């Protein structure tokens, strides 16, 4: 397997742009692809080369980050008639960074392996704030050697790279993480509202709680969460649980409770 020298980024959006920017800053050769003219201009300004097609990225890159919207887009980009597998060389690593189903990653990994290409799922944990600070945690599923090979470029935008297990395992870990995060946000809001009503200011109560057994990461990072994805994350968790035959009454109850919250609710409890 050759060393990774050229990195492709498909999807120069909120996350992809930050990851690409850090890669370029660490002197990696980056080629970007995005259907948006605005995104392409931003990528060019950041120092990336611009590709005209998925197959061009596949033919020229050693590591390709796929950061798009959903399973359908990931499947088309990786395994479609004009997808990455139509042009990628043996030894190429394709990192699915989108939030998709675990079985999507597993099927793509199996298909890619037939031509010597590794598909790994690289679940991004930490959100936009962590991406902006090069502080993402990557929960990875798939071939351990492929994940290790990608470790150097990953380190330009991540502080933790964790091999969870086989293909799709990274997505399972991210789903579990997200359920716990949204749970903490919701219960912290209720506790801080109660404390404020009873005369203890939220800022003081957060400090007190974090010194005790009830402390949590959300309390520490209060006011930084943007609440962009609770609906999607909880829908994914509920679907996985239903297919696995596991009853998750708390997650079902959490879904409408998160839908009631806004960033303004968190700001009111600073």
Interval 40-82: pLDDT, tens: 999 999 999 999 999 999 999 999 999 999 999 999 999 999 9
In terms of residue numbers, what domain contains 259? 173-267
Each residue of 109-145: pLDDT tens digit?
999 999 999 999 999 999 888 999 999 999 999 999 9
Does some domain include residue 120? yes
Please say which residue of 133, 167, 201 terminates a domain.
167
pTM tops 0.85: yes
- Both 15 and 75 in one domain: the answer is yes
Each residue of 214-229: pLDDT tens digit?
999 999 999 888 898 8
Whether 1 shows a pLDDT value over 60: the answer reads no
Q: Percentage of the chain with pLDDT > 90?
A: 94
Please say which residue of 136, 167, 198 terminates a domain.
167
User: Is there a contact between 22 and 89 (Cβ–Cβ < 8 Å)?
Assistant: no
Backbone angles phi, psi at 157, to 5 degrees: -130, 5
For all residues of the chain together, what is the average pLDDT?
Answer: 96
- Both 152 and 246 in one domain: the answer is no
Whether 159 shows a pLDDT value over 80: the answer reads yes
Number of domains in the chain: 2
What one-character DSSP code corresponds to residue 126? S
**Residue 103 confidence (pLDDT):** 94
- Both 157 and 247 in one domain: the answer is no
Distance from C-alpha of 111 to C-alpha of 120, rounded to nearest angstrom: 12
Q: How many residues does the chain have?
A: 270
Mean of the pLDDT values across residues 99-107? 94
- Both 204 and 254 in one domain: the answer is yes
- Both 32 and 118 in one domain: the answer is yes
Higher pLDDT, 3 or 9: 9
**Residue 2 confidence (pLDDT):** 58
What does the block give as tokens for 244?
């696995």
């Amino acid at each position: 397997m050759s060393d990774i020298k050229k990195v492709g980024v498909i999807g120069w959006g909120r996350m992809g742009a930050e990851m690409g920017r850090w890669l370029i800053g660490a002197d990696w050769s980056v080629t970007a692809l995005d259907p948006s003219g605005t995104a392409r201009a931003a990528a060019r300004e950041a120092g990336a080369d611009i590709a005209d097609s998925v197959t061009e990225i596949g033919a020229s890159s050693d590591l390709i980050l796929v950061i798009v919207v959903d399973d359908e887009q990931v499947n088309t980009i990786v395994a479609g008639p004009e997808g990455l597998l139509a042009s990628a060389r043996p030894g190429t690593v394709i990192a699915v960074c989108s939030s998709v189903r675990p079985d999507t990653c597993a099927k793509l990994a199996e298909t890619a392996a037939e031509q010597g290409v590794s598909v790994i799922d690289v679940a991004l944990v930490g959100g936009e704030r962590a991406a902006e600070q090069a502080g993402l945690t990557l929960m990875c599923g798939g071939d351990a050697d492929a994940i290790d090979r990608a470790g150097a470029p990953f380190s330009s935008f991540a502080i933790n790279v964790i091999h969870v297990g086989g293909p799709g395992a990274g997505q399972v870990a991210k789903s579990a993480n997200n359920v716990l995060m949204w749970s903490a946000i919701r219960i912290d809001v209720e506790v801080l509202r109660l404390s404020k009503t009873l005369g203890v200011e939220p800022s003081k109560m957060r400090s007190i709680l974090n010194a005790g057994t009830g402390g949590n990461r959300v309390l520490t990072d209060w006011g930084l969460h943007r609440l962009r994805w609770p609906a999607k994350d909880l829908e994914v968790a509920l679907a996985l649980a239903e297919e696995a035959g596991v009853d998750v009454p708390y997650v079902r109850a959490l879904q409408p409770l998160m839908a009631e919250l806004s960033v303004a609710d968190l700001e009111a409890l600073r």
